Chain A
Amino acid sequence: MPANRHNGYTDYGIGLGLRVPHYRHILAERPTCAWFEIISENFMVDGGRPLEVLDAILEQYQVVQHGVSLYLGSADKIDRAHLRRLKTLVKRTKTPWLSDHLCWGSVDGTYTHDLLPMPYTREAAIRTAEKIRSVRDFLEVPICVENVSSYMEFHASEMTEWEFLTEVVERADCGILLDVNNIYVSSRNHGFDPRRYIDSIPHHRVGQMHIAGHTKFEKYIVDTHDHPVLDPVWELYTRATRLCGVTATLLEWDDKIPSFDEVHAEALKANRYIEAARAAQKDSN
């Protein structure tokens, strides 16, 4: 199950997000790391240091592209010039799959640079799925869409978030980048059972998973990516792995970033939970 058509039939294991504070260490020490996830937009530039670093990384490591600006849920039409730029990068990295978020974030060409939750309506699902198909056809690479963490819900929603995600990926025939931390964050903010979310999605479509840390405030929790992964998220990760199989997993750590070794060690903790998931699966068989 982990190597599937949504991740280009790869079996990448546990990776890390490529972040600026680690560049020097990675380039000098060439540490072991199964793969790096890059933020596409950081490398959709014309030249200079970013592309130099990327090329050096590509010589040694497997790289997967993760985007933050396709805004698949925005009503705006897809910008062809943007897609051409993205495709140039896809050719450079040879990413086996590409991910972006199930969200909106731009209106009439003005960008919020945020990953905003959508109203979960059938109309939005149809429009978003069409957009995903169009992007995939243009880029000629499998697409996985990621569930976002959210802090608000709309009255206009006609279904739950997991029903909406399912509706979109089935209509688009695309993959899911399942962010278990985001599910946990949203479940706490909106009061749903995160296990139900994980149990309900089409598991065969999960091409990648994200894990991360979050921060609890008095009245809500925020997806801050500045902590180690917390226990409830590991529990959800174990559950998701049991249901989806061992899937390419990426630890996101984007703020207050500690040393490379510390981040890598945190990511590799996933192996414990993978084993736990395997054991649980064996028991149930």
Chain B
Amino acid sequence: MAALTPELLALQLLVGLALGAIYVLLAFGLSLIFGMLTVVNFAHGAFYMLGAYVAFAVAGLTGNFWLCLACAPVVLGLIGYGVERFLVSPLYGRGIDYPLLLTFGLSYVLVEAVRIIFGKQGYPFDSPAALAGSVEILGNYFPLYRLFVVAATGTIVLALWLFVEWTNFGLIIRAGARDPEILRVLGIDVGRVWRLVFALGTAIAAMAGVLAAPLQGVTPEMGDSMLIESFVVTVVGGMGSLGGAVLAGLLVGLVVSLTSVVAPELAKLSIYALMAAVLLIRPQGLFGRAGLLG
């Protein structure tokens, strides 16, 4: 076994950061939707996968990655809007398990639909030409594209944070999360706000899907394991906490990466060990508010 030199450690941290970036985006959307709508969205992984397939289709037509990155969130945002309007919203006030089961079923429908349309076997997806190369870091080659994923995630998270904290709509979102009743009394169409939040969460999932596609290709099942892992991230960060989602996403990436050096077989398991440890110490997650599910 290679000694854990500072260089190796630094590289593992960098790899983990890039790995965590995708978790951050997925968990952010999940947390946004849960925090506002108290909907545990089991279709989030399928939306992530759909985003990647929209990108795959757009790339097939135009060959332009940047267009994919722009198109997929728009398409999925519209789908998310429709899903909330016609499927999820009729279930409000019926208890948390109704939308959970609905989105769970929806994810199966979406995955099957993609299998029928695109085939079961999945496709590779090229990195954009401008980011295809590597840079040398500490004597190792590191793919430029992974650095781009980290930077893109940082930008998206920053933009969302500014949006939620500094715009009027963001103010409404935050108020809606605290007390939708009062918001309604104030004359704000809360249903519309929720629809837009659901669409926004879905669009972020799509963006994560597009960013992940050049790393691993696209497959109908790509959302399945990501969904479970991003739920773990959300739970670790605290359900509904946006800051928690970001921090926990990066934390999970780093834990997986570092475990891989010491015990590669346990890499996936380490995510759940982390969750168990956090839940033992803080049952509501790192930044969660207790009692949201009650």
| A joins B in a complex | no
